[in-house]
Copies of this chain bind each other. A is one copy, B any other.
Amino acid sequence: MAGKPTIADVARAAGVSKGLVSFALNDRPGVAADTKRRILAVADELGFRPSLQGRALSTRLAYSVGLVIARDPRLVAADPFYPPFIAGAEQVLIAAGRTLTLSMLAPDRDEAAHYRALADDRRVDGVLLGDLRPDDPRLPLLAELGLPAVTIGPSGDPRCSSVVVDDVAGVRATVQHLADLGHRRVAVIAGPRTLEHGARRADAFRAALHERGVEPLIVETDFSPAAAAEVADRLLDLPAEHRPTALVCGNDVAAVAATGRAMRRGIRVPLDLSVCGFDDAEIAQWTHPALTTVGTHPTRWGAAAAQALLDLLAGGAPTEVRLEPARLVVRDSTGPAPAGPAAPGPAPSGPAPA
């Protein structure tokens, strides 16, 4: 017995057949109690660990789950969401003896072929689906391939579980916060509508702003800081009476970029312009001014998604797991709306400029 002990070694040492050892190890009925005890003792003594590969071949299981991030790597790099998400998912998966198989798929690569290969090769038993799109074509594909899936965000598909955070709550809180500060021209530099959460948040902003009687000015971008900077420039070029007094960005890095453009023109944040981010990334608390943003818990999100997938793999029915709603974190990048040049209503209190 040079290498690691196999199930046959255990069987021989315990004086029983391979099959019985397998039954005993897998807690299946029909094994006499003290036989089972003996087998387990022998297995333990020999330091037996079943071979994943042998088991995989007969069970047709991979004991691994996939995470497919379908986005340009450069955008992923600027997005602090995934690392903690992955950390959370990992923690749960490792405890369950599973590993995480990661795929970062540039958008120009053939998605369908990739999923198909993943399924055909039985590399994963299920997948965590990020960057969900409206009517995502991956959902029917995965169903066809027989791969259980958990979506990050609401899918509307009864075949897969999803883990959702009510970020509408965060959106409404943001709008309320800005409205309370007197802002009446608020621009939203939103993510692309081709992303489910991009569209959902944009709609939520539109509704919340409208509800407060603020004219919604929503610009769709690709979530990149470059796009945010460019849009910010364009908005700040507007004549003073049309220029927004607050900018709400789709993520924190975009907010940093927008703030940067404003400061470059001498526009002070938050004195002349308020800026909000989204995600509550680590960086948000360290910029100057520290960023007002909407926070979720990517780590918990990852853990919940992994758990939901494990439940699904164990034969559970698809569910929708709701995490705690996104929370507005007020920091220093938002302040009272500046008195506009022709702004109606009372002038700001305090001494007038000399």
Check if A307 is an interface residue, CB within 8 A of chain B. no
Q: In which size bucket is the chain A interface?
A: 35 or more
Query: What secondary structure prevails in chain A residues at the interface with B?
Result: helix
Given A84-B73, A100-B101, A101-B101, A4 contacting B120 (CB threshold 8 A): yes
Q: Which one of A28-36, A151-159, A284-292, A342-350 is at the B interface?
A: A284-292
Given A60-B53, A100-B102, A83 contacting B86 (CB threshold 8 A): no
Complex partner residue of A256 from B73, B80, B82, B283, CB under 8 angstroms? B283
Give the interface centre of A84, A91, A287 by most chain B CB atoms within 10 Å.
A287
Can you report 13 residue pairs joining A to B where beta carbons are below 8 Å apart?
Answer: A49-B120, A76-B87, A77-B281, A99-B123, A100-B102, A101-B102, A225-B282, A225-B286, A229-B286, A253-B283, A259-B288, A261-B288, A263-B288
A62: nearest chain-B partner, CB-CB: B53
Contacts of A145 in B (CB 8 A): none
Chain A residues at the B interface, C-beta cutoff of 8 Å: 4, 49, 51-54, 56-57, 60, 62, 64, 73-74, 76-80, 82-84, 86-88, 90-91, 94, 99-104, 106, 114, 120-123, 225-226, 229, 253, 256-257, 259-261, 263-264, 281-283, 286-288, 290, 298-299
